[in-house]
Amino acid sequence: MKIAHISDLHFLSSHFVSEWGKRVIELINSLEPEILVITGDITEEGYQEEYEEAVVYLDKLEVKNKVVVPGNHDARNEGYKIFEEVFLTRFPKYEDTEVVIYGIDSSEPDIDDGHIGRENYDNIRKNLSVKEKVKILTMHHHLIPIPGTGRERHIPVDAGEVLNLCKELEINFVLSGHKHKPWVWKFESTYLITAGTATTRRLKAKGYPSFNILEIKENKFVIKEMNIINGKIRDMLIIKR
């Protein structure tokens, strides 16, 4: 199974590069992943016209199963209401015989800080307390600081409780975005995977636009990074099962 993970598109912002957006479509469609996970900041200010542009764009990604969660930019200006109209829920779930993916809205209206909330802990338990399946939790905000991204301010205020849930439920992967830099941390038995920005110039140092690929194989997991400019793939981590 192949899962493409993109994040931080920031539609209609001054940093958005349309040529990179077209390249993302070409690359993802050529990879033919079974699932596409989008970890937020699809829009820049949460405006109606930004969502309309984003929907047209996302429809060009030929992936049957899409799991989409909002980011802090999507929640601005009551954009979280439009998100629900467009994507039907801020807490999506996908499940098949091999994997279960549960999405959480970690944003709060008009602030950049993250928050999961006690009211959502039981839903995480309910949806990810499964046996013999790969378990993936996805959200916009990162649970652990990412090096090289400046002072840390936006980690969810209850990140410790969520990390404890990851340990308790033996969640395999947490997919996130927000920091515009691809990174992988291991916490207990959980791998925390952050995607870079796929389509904007808001890059770190000599970084490049990218998205991640998670391959679930019979005897291993492979985490890869796709360079959107040159199409090169870099192995980030190979994990034996």
Phi-psi region of 214 (alpha: psi -120 to 50; beta: other; left: phi over 0): beta
Tell me the H-state helices in 95-230: 121-128, 159-169
If you ran DSSP here, which 8-state letter would residue 50 be given?
A: H
If you ran DSSP here, which 8-state letter would residue 168 be given?
A: H
Domains along the sequence of the chain with CATH: 2-240 (3.60.21.10)
If you ran DSSP here, which 8-state letter would residue 148 be given?
A: T
β-pairing verdict for 2-6 and 210-216? antiparallel
Main-chain phi, psi angles of 85, to 5 degrees: -65, -40
pLDDT digits (tens, 9 = 90+) for 68-77: 999 999 999 9
pTM: 0.96
Closest CA to 66 of 86, 92, 30, 91: 92
pLDDT digits (tens, 9 = 90+) for 197-227: 999 999 999 999 999 999 999 999 999 999 9
pLDDT digits (tens, 9 = 90+) for 99-111: 999 999 999 999 9
What mean pLDDT comes out for the span 140-157? 91
Structure tokens at 31: 């990879």
Number of residues that make up the chain:
241
What SS3 class is residue 11?
strand
Structure tokens at 101: 């993916």
Question: Residue 151: is its pLDDT beyond 90?
Answer: no
If you ran DSSP here, which 8-state letter would residue 142 be given?
A: -
Q: Tokens 């549960």: give the residue.
A: 102
Structure tokens at 120: 């959502």
